[in-house]
Amino acid sequence: MEPYSYFALGCRHLQAAIILDEPTAPLDSETELALLDNLKEWGQRRVILLITHRLSTIRQADHIVYVQDGQIVESGSQAELRTRERGTYRRLIERQEPSSGAGGERS
């Protein structure tokens, strides 16, 4: 049996948590939203660790952990991170959405 098969078998029995690495990367925006809606429903009372670079996916998270060079740089809710002055996540948002202001004045 291939190593990934053992992981798949283990996931069938693990019902409290799931780790997904870039699950929305190949998807169009409509399919991405449908997947995220399904995950929200399935994820009630469960932990979903979602690794992604897509801001549209990140916005759906209850809690965001920003990792850079293998280190946790920031963590918090979308609202907290968007309003953190000189925050790494805020700078990312401002680069991606220059007109957003990221919840406050640009620094």
Nearest one of 4, 100, 99, 20 to 54, comparing CA atoms: 20
pLDDT digit string, tens, across residues 22-41 = 988 888 989 988 988 888 88
Contact 64, 77 (CB under 8 A): yes
Contact 82, 103 (CB under 8 A): yes
Q: With bands split at pLDDT 50, 70 and 90, how would you rate the model's confidence at 98?
A: low
pTM of the predicted protein model: 0.68
Q: Is the same domain home to 46 and 67?
A: no
Q: Is the same domain home to 41 and 89?
A: no
Q: Is the same domain home to 104 and 76?
A: yes
pLDDT digit string, tens, across residues 55-76 = 888 888 889 999 999 999 999 9
The residue type of 10 is: G
Q: Is the same domain home to 67 and 48?
A: no
Q: How many folded domains does the chain comprise?
A: 2
Structural domain boundaries, residue 89: 62-107
Q: Is the same domain home to 38 and 76?
A: no
Q: What's the rounded mean pLDDT across residues 3-32?
A: 71
Q: Is the same domain home to 11 and 30?
A: yes
- pLDDT for 3 equals 45
- pLDDT for 104 equals 45
